[in-house]
Each structure stands twice: as structure tokens, then as C-alpha cells.
Structure 1
Amino acid sequence: MMTKPLYQKAKSIKALSANFADIEKRIQQACQRANRESGSVRLLPVTKTVDEDIIRMAFTLGYDYFGENKVQEAVEKQESMNDLPINWSVIGHLQTNKIKYVARFATEFQALDSLKVAKRLNERLQLEDRHMEVLIQVNTSDEASKYGLHPTEVADFIEQIKSLDRLRVKGLMTLALLSNNAEKVRDCFILLRNIRDGLLDTLPANMSMQELSMGMSGDFEIAIEEGATIVRVGQAIFGARALPDSHYWPESDVND
């Protein structure tokens, strides 16, 4: 099991700015190692359990896209900060009874892995007269406790959802194995990239599949080396959370 660093809480804009600068530098260095443009990777700050005043500080530093795992928490934050033009990305498992809320406020949904959810989300988006960018979650670590499609199911799933015109499918997302073995972690990212690459020649015209959302605080540099276009970083920016991960989401679906 991966050992977590003891991330210090960022309680001031100075500390927060320094943390963002460190992560951006590490993204740039990882891109250089992979012969990639640094602008090809989007940093998605993950703000679950982060207080509103800290998120507002992050916004003043130029960040306007934030990731949230739990819908209820995301809704509360969106409502309390609706004076700011923030884009909210829902990155955790979505229950059907929460779809109506996500359809109303989220810019992006990164954890699509169910035809039932896809259809209901599309219906709610029609009612809201909105479109939404979505990523398909794939279980690349082959852990039964994790959400996400099996790698062999992705192509059929795409065929099943291609007519859902309110969903703008942009790519794939995964959670790597939580391990200190960097090569096993890397294998998860390589697998996701290979799945995406294998789909490119047969994709419907309304799907781009250019995005690979993979990598979190402990492994985002490996993910960038293997093609990540979105990295989801929370604790390395905002600091360690006060309560264990299991208090907020399933232990197997940490998602930074």
C-alpha cells in the first residue's frame, strides 16, 4: 500500500501559492521528461473537504476549475460561491438519485461507468437545456472494490452511449493501484492510454477521446510521463485531510 506523505495544511494565500507553484513546476518537469508541451496537461485542484475561504484563495491565484467527489458537498460549495465563475468537475461515483443535481451545476463529470447513469444524465441535461463534458471511468487496476468499466467493456459502452447527444465524451479516467511499486502504478496508466489509442480509429464523430484523466498527488508525474492530460491533485496543494479517506468516500475510490 502506498505510504502517504504528511502534507501540511495551506492556511494562507502565500502557502497556497507556493504549493501550486511547486505542483506546476513538477508538471512542467514531467512534461519535459516525456518530451511534451507543459500546456498539454491541465491541473485539476481537488477541493473536497477544503473550506470555502481556501477555494476562494485558489480562485484569486487563477484557478477556476475544481474537482469534487461528493455531490452534496459540491452543491453546497457551488451555491455558496455562485458569485464566482467556477467550473465544477464531479470526479466521484454518481448515484442515480444525485443525477439531477449534477445535471444542474457541473461543467464536467469524470466517472461515467454505467449505461443507466448515462441515459438518466442525458435526460436531465435535456430538461436543463445543457450539455456536459464527460469522461469514462475504467478500472485499470483490476480491483473488484473499485468503480469503473473493465478494460474490455469500453468499446461496447461507447457504442451504447453514442446517441446520447447531451453528453460530450472527451476521454477516459482511471485510478491507479495504490502501491509503492511505481511500475505497477505506471502499468495502470499505460493500459488506459492503450485503450484510448485503440479506440481512436473507430470513434463516433461526436466523441474526441483526447483526454486522459489519471494521476493524483502521489503519482501524477508518472501519469504525465504516460500521457495524462488531466491530473487530479488535492492534498499536495491544500494539505492533508483531518479525517480518514473512508469518512468521505469508499476507501477503494480515493480519487485524491
Structure 2
Amino acid sequence: MGESYIAQNAARIRTSIQAAAERGHRHPNDVRIVAVTKTAGPDVLPLLLEEGIQDAGENRWQVAREKFEHPKSTEFTWHFIGTLQTNKVKYIAPRFDWVHSVDSVELAEALAKAAVKLNRNINLLLQVNVAEEPQKHGFAAAACLDAVRRIRELPGVTLRGLMTMAPIVQRAEDTRWVFRELRLLRDRIRGDLDLVDFDQLSMGMSDDFPVAIEEGATMIRIGRSLVNPPEAAEEV
């Protein structure tokens, strides 16, 4: 049997990560690939594991549920990356290790309450709407410091950093300022509040992850260019 398309895609992505890390004077091992599996079936899981990818991201509980039934699902660290309402936390808290899309203190409180009941810890990232796009969720940059002060005291959760989604543009370079601003914001909050573990930046997707890595991304969320066959050209 020939090399899987996942293997081919992963090799291309890792080559790009290596080059971007070198340009950013970073080590490529400091960048975590979160495979966004929402458009793939459960059978993609063993293929990802074969390539050493053990982080998977989903943005809807209903889609993730069938993957959790796969025997290989327990070998993954699961990231919830979609918009989350507080009344859906009960579906997310038992299985997801990270939530990238915390866009309110109330959501963090709901996740903390659920985590305590389950006797587990969930890693949280604040979603920041750096570009202030009206159609997107997330904290305004100016509101993040106060939110971090409130959330860091909650039991059952650990606040680990920030996440953003850059605007859709024709040139990836035009997203650089967004990623840079998120990094600077993370660094300011980490320093002001002396938060050693507040070190993560989830930023960069299929079309702009090299720029995000140059600007300090520690997690890149890759869907289409990793889990889709080569002939699938639509962004997902």
C-alpha cells in the first residue's frame, strides 16, 4: 500500500513549519499541530497517529461524538475550538482537554464548575478578537487582563494563553499584525500577573500558519491542508 494522503500532507506541513521556525528563530518542536478533523471521518485518527500527530480539534460536539467512539480516540489530546454556549458545556467538559474558544468569564465559570464535578482539569485559552471583526466572537484586547484576573482563580481549569482567528485575506502576510498583537498581549498579561504557565498562542490555520509561527504560535489549527485528500480544494 502506498503512502497515505495524510502522510503526504503532514510531510508538506512539517517542511513549512521547519522553514517558518527558522525564519522566526524558533525550534519547530515548539509548535504543536492541532489536526482539525471536523470534515474527516473517524478513520482519519489512526492515520494521524502514524504521523505522530496526537492533538485533534473539533468545533461541534455532534461531529466529535462519532470520533470518540473510535478505539484510537483515547490516544489523542482533544481540543474544542468552536463557539461554545454555556448550556453545551456538559457535552464538552467530559472529553475535551483544551478549550480554545473561551469568549466570556461566564463560559469559563461554567467549564470550571463542570470540571470540578468530573474531578478533572481543563486547559483554557481566551479567544481574542484582535481585528475587532463584528461577526467574530472573542474578548476585545483591552478586556483580557481583567478577564484573566477573574478566571485564573477558578478551580478545575488552568488558563494557558490566548487564541485568535485572523481575518480572511488574499495574502497571508496581511495577517502578521494580528498574530504579533496577540503575542504582545500574551506577553504583557503574563508579565503583569506573573503567570508562568500562561505561555500558549493558538493562532494560524491552513493558509496563514507559517506567518503565525514566525510571530510565536505554539499551536496551529490545521484542517483542509492536513486531513483532506489532495483533490479537495475548498477551505474547511
- Give TM-score scaled by structure 2 length: 0.92
Change (3 A) 1:44 1:145: same
Write the distance in 1 (CA, Å) between the matches of 2:8 and 2:74.
Answer: 23
SS where residue 93 of structure 2 aligns?
helix
Write the distance in 1 (CA, Å) between the matches of 2:134 and 2:201.
Answer: 22
Matched, 1:34 2:43: no
SS where residue 105 of structure 1 aligns?
coil
Matched, 1:76 2:76: no
Q: CA RMSD in A?
A: 2.1
Residue in structure 2 matched with residue 185 of structure 1 by the alignment: 175
Matches within 5 A, 1:112-191: 112-191=102-181
Deviation sequence 1:81-132 (CA, Å, 0-9, x none) = 4664222110111112210111101111111111111111111111100001
SS where residue 160 of structure 2 aligns?
strand
Residue in structure 1 matched with residue 199 of structure 2 by the alignment: 210
Amino acid at match of 2:116: Q
SS where residue 181 of structure 2 aligns?
helix
Amino acid at match of 2:201: L
Matched, 1:221 2:206: no
How far off is 1:182 after superposition? Answer: 3.5
Q: Equivalent pairs: percent with the same residue?
A: 35
Deviation sequence 1:27-49 (CA, Å, 0-9, x none) = 01100111111111111111012
Write the distance in 1 (CA, Å) between the matches of 2:190 and 2:87.
Answer: 33
Residue in structure 2 matched with residue 62 of structure 1 by the alignment: 52
How far off is 1:60 after superposition? Answer: 2.7
How far off is 1:166 after superposition? Answer: 1.1
The size of the alignment, in residue pairs, is: 234
